[in-house]
């Protein structure tokens, strides 16, 4: 049975099953369409306070929608100008900045990362096998996320205080403050297997920073955000108006209440702390769909985009390109990325057969993933009617 046909049944009996706070009136369109009602009902069921979405088609942003609360306590509604933290949907943006350095000849996908790093990185179990940038961008590097350490070092309502290179050296080098031979690396050799690695993608970002001798955030601002008119987008909270960023929320089932979790920063920030609006992220998606170009502005060469769409290590992962990965939605092949962190969730995909795409940004965490998948199918159906 198709997933989208199951979802409406989840909403039946909503008023009887949800706590009072959960069913309070959320901001939305004055004259809601069927799609609007689907989204608002789904948000209630999935315990999502606020949501922004966009549909892209034929090289344009075809539709945007804003629903619910960016901040429940202050009664700030979500609008097209609301910035959301997009968790791992940050990674395609990071990969774009890195590939710009590859195009400039400053980095190579297949070279040993130690040729560009000011500190050596080697898996201690495989000291003679180099880690490459391609490994980092395909999660085949063998660098492991030590979640106990990573979560313990998160910063609430601020950025991670140490420079990116300093914190990664402390994580990846023996005798480093954050290093663990067992928990910083897997036992297998680079390129042998695939295991999702946030720290690996952050190291790719630092490679770009080290070779360009420019902070990673500046590379993104100059190379992506400014050319694509994504003003206000940022990986760093410093300098941002936090009142414009949707507050992340957790839902407490026992009390039926939403708890504001605050904004946060972490040492591997290029992997997940991008704050961006739905229309801005839609422009970035369009640039990728458009082979690196949007509205006459080129941020990557067409051949670079083709390289990013290739499956680099099919034996390790048959769906993984350079950060972007292949998936299926409603039986149709799509490419994109999703992500979640405490209090936030996001997904961005486009359909390969016709390049129609969508994105969904939320300041809550649907637990099963059914809502995002069902809504993604609805948004692509909507694209078919536009």
pLDDT of 369-383, one tens digit each?
A: 899 999 999 999 999
Q: Please, which pLDDT band fits residue 68 given cuts at 50, 70 and 90?
A: very high
Q: How far apart are CA 133 and CA 140, in angstroms?
A: 10
- Do 379 and 236 fall within a single domain? yes
pLDDT at 1: 30
- Do 331 and 256 fall within a single domain? yes
What residue numbers bound the domain in which 166 lies?
92-217
In a domain, 75, yes or no: yes
- Do 381 and 233 fall within a single domain? yes
State which of 217, 240, 272 marks the end of a domain.
217
Residue 10 has pLDDT above 50, yes or no: no
- Do 151 and 254 fall within a single domain? no
Query: Which CATH number do you get for residue 358?
Result: 3.40.710.10
Q: How far apart are CA 226 and CA 85, in angstroms?
A: 19
- Do 334 and 375 fall within a single domain? yes
In a domain, 222, yes or no: no
Q: Which residue has the tokens 């313990």?
A: 152
Instruction: Kindly state the average pLDDT of the residues 295-309.
Output: 98
Q: Quote the number of domains for the chain.
A: 2
Average pLDDT of the chain is 92
In a domain, 152, yes or no: yes
pLDDT at 23: 40
Q: Is 319 exposed, middle or buried (0-12, 13-18, 19+ CB in 10 A)?
A: middle
Region of poorest pLDDT, from 28-32, 287-291, 324-328 = 28-32
Q: Please, which pLDDT band fits residue 276 given cuts at 50, 70 and 90?
A: very high
Contact status, residue 155 vs residue 211, Cβ threshold 8 Å: no
In a domain, 224, yes or no: no
Contact status, residue 172 vs residue 203, Cβ threshold 8 Å: yes
Pairs from 31-35 (Cβ < 8 Å, separation ≥ 24): 35/65, 35/378, 35/379, 35/382
- Do 239 and 252 fall within a single domain? yes
CA 260 distance to own-chain centroid = 21
Q: Which residue has the tokens 């202050």?
A: 74
Structure tokens of 215?
């902070």
Instruction: Kindly state the average pLDDT of the residues 69-80.
Output: 97
State which of 193, 217, 241 marks the end of a domain.
217
Region of poorest pLDDT, from 135-144, 158-167, 215-224, 248-257 = 248-257
Distant-in-sequence, close-in-space partners of 110: CB < 8 Å, separation ≥ 6 = 132, 133, 134
- Do 113 and 186 fall within a single domain? yes
Contact status, residue 18 vs residue 41, Cβ threshold 8 Å: no
Q: How far apart are CA 99 and CA 208, in angstroms?
A: 9
State percent of the chain over pLDDT 90. Answer: 88
Q: How far apart are CA 247 and CA 111, in angstroms?
A: 41
- Do 240 and 357 fall within a single domain? yes
pTM of model > 0.95:
no
Q: What is the pLDDT of residues 20-61, one digit of tens each?
A: 344 455 787 888 899 999 999 999 999 999 999 999 999 999
In a domain, 255, yes or no: yes
26 or 98, which is more confident? 98
Q: Please, which pLDDT band fits residue 332 given cuts at 50, 70 and 90?
A: very high
- Do 110 and 57 fall within a single domain? no
pLDDT at 14: 34
């Amino acid at each position: 049975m198709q997933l989208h046909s199951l979802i409406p049944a989840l909403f039946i009996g909503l008023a009887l099953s949800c706590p009072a706070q959960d069913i309070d009136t959320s901001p939305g369109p004055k004259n809601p369409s069927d799609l609007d009602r689907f989204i608002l009902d789904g948000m209630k069921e999935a315990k999502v306070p606020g949501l922004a979405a966009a549909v892209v088609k034929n090289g344009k942003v075809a539709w945007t929608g804003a629903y619910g609360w960016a901040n429940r306590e202050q009664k700030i509604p979500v609008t097209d100008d609301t910035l959301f933290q997009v968790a791992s949907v940050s990674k395609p943006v990071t990969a774009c900045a890195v590939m710009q350095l590859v195009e400039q000849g400053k980095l190579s996908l297949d070279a040993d990362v130690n040729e560009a790093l000011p500190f050596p990185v080697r898996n201690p179990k495989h000291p003679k096998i180099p880690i490459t940038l391609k490994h980092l961008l395909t999660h085949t590097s063998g660098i492991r996320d030590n979640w106990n350490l990573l979560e313990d070092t998160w910063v609430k309502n601020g950025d991670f205080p140490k420079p990116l290179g300093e914190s990664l050296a402390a994580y990846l080098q023996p005798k480093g403050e954050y290093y663990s031979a067992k928990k910083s690396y897997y036992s297998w050799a680079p390129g042998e297997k695939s295991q999702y690695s946030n720290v690996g993608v952050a190291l790719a970002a630092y490679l770009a920073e080290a070779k360009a001798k420019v902070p990673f955030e500046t590379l993104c601002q100059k190379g992506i955000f400014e050319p694509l008119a994504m003003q206000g987008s940022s990986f760093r909270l410093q300098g941002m108006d936090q009142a414009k960023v949707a507050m992340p929320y957790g839902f407490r089932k026992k009390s039926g209440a939403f708890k504001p979790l605050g904004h946060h920063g972490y040492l591997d920030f290029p992997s997940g702390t991008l704050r961006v609006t739905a229309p801005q992220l839609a422009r970035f998606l369009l640039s990728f769909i458009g082979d690196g170009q949007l509205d006459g502005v080129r941020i990557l060469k067409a051949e670079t985009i083709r390289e990013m769409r290739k499956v680099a290590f099919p034996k390790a992962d048959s769906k993984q390109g350079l950060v972007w990965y292949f998936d299926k939605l409603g039986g149709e092949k799509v490419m994109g990325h999703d992500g979640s962190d405490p209090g936030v969730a996001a997904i961005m995909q486009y359909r390969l057969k016709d390049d129609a795409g969508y994105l969904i940004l939320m300041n809550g965490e649907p637990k099963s993933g059914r809502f995002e998948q069902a809504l993604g199918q609805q948004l692509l159906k909507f694209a078919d009617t536009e």
